[in-house]
Chain A
Amino acid sequence: MEEDRMVDIKSLWEKTASEETIVLDTRIMTEYANAHIPGSLIAPYHRYGWGKSVADYLREEQREMAIVASNDAIASAAKEELKKNGINVSFVISDALEKWKKENLPVASVSNIDVENLYEKLEEFQVIDVREPYEWRSGVIPSALKIPMGELVNKLGELPKNKKYAVICATGSRSQSASIFMADNGFNAVNVIGGMSRWLSLSLPVDLQ
């Protein structure tokens, strides 16, 4: 990767904050949730058409692009894939978050709560069930708001920001990106790990449709 311009993390922070640079985070979802550069895009790298789908999404993008990866191997693979699809990457940062934290730059993160804990503290949270309507037939936590993932962006304005939200789906995967999305939009949101499959397997109370 000798052709990469070495970027010092502070100037990347400035470029990102001023929206001069767009940051594509290729790490897996749980690492992203754990800590990420505010405003960076989630795009976990995989070997099944990742480059094309990212390139399609960023086709009109004029800004310089930076890639965040958890190690050099993924960074090179992701960069190569984007190049094949006509997208040039200006900066590559592996071990990004370690460097980022060393500089004391702000990171965004979403914490997790497990199902047992959520059940104990249920009255502290507004639960949002982001599954699809057909999935609600298996049972929904009685106090939960039902907002399918795809509608969350439209419903966000209706949600008060002074509440604590616990986002749940079937297993904790979709709710992870939903809770990150909410957190990045100024909500106090946690992700429920284990999801409704865990809730139901513990026979915790649900409303059946």
Chain B
Amino acid sequence: MIWKEIRDENLGCNSFLLGDEVSGKGLVVDPLGSAGAMEYILTAQDLGISIEHVVETHIHADHRSAAKELAGNLGIKITFGKNAQVNFDYVPVEDGSLISLGSIEVEVMETPGHTMESISLVVRDRHRGDEPILVMSGDSLFVGDVGRPDLNDADDEIIRKYSEKQFHSIQKIMKLPDFTELHPAHYGASPCGGLFMSKKPSSTIGYERRYNVFTAIKDKGLFVEKQIKLLKPPPEEAIAIRAENLGPIKE
């Protein structure tokens, strides 16, 4: 199994290259505009995999994405959760969709809450075992925290609805085995997280089960109250960045 993280330390963003060295098949998750499409193409080549899918866990509002440029370069469409409202063609995936990369299998889990189209990606290395080895949780479950529900719409009622969805999504992710590695899209100072977000880029489901204040809350109402109480102002330029990321592909 091939696994490589490409980060933006400044913004606390994580992106991933995943692949199977035997079949040479690979995918990129949440490519970063600051790294640039070329970096992913050259890294995949260094690793001996070809990028067959470019997956966005959600429409980003805090940083520019390289997904359009990368997918355009490779002549493929971006993969999004089926509810993505973007102004270009994409490959829609939903709960249970499987992306097969030789012996590496990626299962889609819909985890709305940060945004409506948010997905998490559960990875299995079938060469080694049938249980998940890791989950890329996008902006759903973070290390120490969960993704904020207010970047789609500033309306209080809508924020509350998104927070309720986030509660169910977190419960869903927490059904994974304790040893599953957790790789969110953000860490550290990212504006997409809250007060409790750790500077550490990855964790395990088991650790978050014990020490994440949000996974401990079993009541939806309490979860929503806590999220709303801790909200901080949206990132600067959020509206413009989001618009660019969901805008049409420029020729």
Shortest distance from the beta carbon of A1 to any chain B beta carbon, whole Å? 14
B residues near A111, Cβ cutoff 8 Å? none
- Of the candidates A30, A44, A74, which one forms a contact with B42 in the assembled complex, judged by CB atoms under 8 Å apart? A74
Decide yes or no whether A6 CB sits under 8 A from chain B: no
Shortest distance from the beta carbon of A83 to any chain B beta carbon, whole Å? 17
- Complex Cα gap A47–B38 (Å): 12
Q: For chain A residues 78-128, which have a beta carbon within 8 Å of chain B?
A: 112
Known: A194-B127, A201-B128. A28 touches B24 (CB 8 A): yes
Decide yes or no whether B241 CB sits under 8 A from chain A: no
Decide yes or no whether A172 CB sits under 8 A from chain B: yes
B residues near A172, Cβ cutoff 8 Å? 21-22
Q: For chain B residues 126-180, which have a beta carbon within 8 Å of chain A?
A: 127-128
- Of the candidates A30, A48, A73, which one forms a contact with B46 in the assembled complex, judged by CB atoms under 8 Å apart? A48
B residues near A45, Cβ cutoff 8 Å? 45
B residues near A73, Cβ cutoff 8 Å? 37-38, 41-42, 73
Q: For chain A residues 22-44, which have a beta carbon within 8 Å of chain B?
A: 28-31, 44
Decide yes or no whether B74 CB sits under 8 A from chain A: yes
Decide yes or no whether B23 CB sits under 8 A from chain A: yes
Contact: B24 with A44, CB < 8 Å? no
Decide yes or no whether B103 CB sits under 8 A from chain A: yes
- Complex Cα gap A201–B130 (Å): 13
Decide yes or no whether A153 CB sits under 8 A from chain B: no
Contact: B41 with A28, CB < 8 Å? no
Q: For chain B residues 3-48, which have a beta carbon within 8 Å of chain A?
A: 21-25, 37-38, 41-42, 45-46, 48
A residues near B24, Cβ cutoff 8 Å? 28-31
A residues near B127, Cβ cutoff 8 Å? 194, 198, 201
Contact: A74 with B45, CB < 8 Å? yes
Contact: A29 with B73, CB < 8 Å? no
Contact: B46 with A71, CB < 8 Å? no
- Complex Cα gap A48–B43 (Å): 11
Chain A contributes a number of interface residues (CB within 8 A of B) equal to 24
Size class of the contact patch on chain B: 20 to 34
Decide yes or no whether B123 CB sits under 8 A from chain A: no
Decide yes or no whether A171 CB sits under 8 A from chain B: yes
Decide yes or no whether A70 CB sits under 8 A from chain B: yes
Contact: B128 with A30, CB < 8 Å? no
Shortest distance from the beta carbon of B76 to any chain A beta carbon, whole Å? 11
- Complex Cα gap A82–B48 (Å): 20
Decide yes or no whether B67 CB sits under 8 A from chain A: no
Shortest distance from the beta carbon of B54 to any chain A beta carbon, whole Å? 14
B residues near A72, Cβ cutoff 8 Å? 73
Known: A171-B21, A201-B127, A201-B128. A71 touches B48 (CB 8 A): no
Known: A28-B48, A30-B50, A31-B50. A193 touches B23 (CB 8 A): yes
Shortest distance from the beta carbon of B149 to any chain A beta carbon, whole Å? 38
Task: Give per-residue flags for A171-209: 1 if the beta carbon is below 8 A from chain B beta carbons, else 0.
Answer: 111000000000000000000011100100100000000
A residues near B25, Cβ cutoff 8 Å? 30
Contact: B73 with A30, CB < 8 Å? no
Contact: A70 with B50, CB < 8 Å? yes
Residues of B within 8 A of A (CB): 21-25, 37-38, 41-42, 45-46, 48-50, 73-74, 102-103, 127-128
Q: List 12 A-B contacts (CB under 8 A).
A: A28-B48, A28-B50, A30-B50, A45-B45, A47-B42, A48-B46, A70-B50, A74-B42, A171-B21, A171-B22, A193-B22, A195-B22
Nearest 9 CB-CB pairs, A to B? A30-B24, A46-B46, A193-B22, A172-B22, A73-B41, A28-B48, A28-B24, A47-B46, A45-B45
Residues of A within 8 A of B (CB): 28-31, 44-48, 70-74, 77, 112, 171-173, 193-195, 198, 201
Besides A28-B50, A30-B24, 16 other A-B contacts (C-beta < 8 A): A28-B24, A29-B24, A31-B50, A46-B45, A73-B38, A73-B42, A74-B41, A112-B23, A171-B21, A172-B22, A173-B22, A193-B23, A193-B102, A194-B103, A194-B127, A195-B22
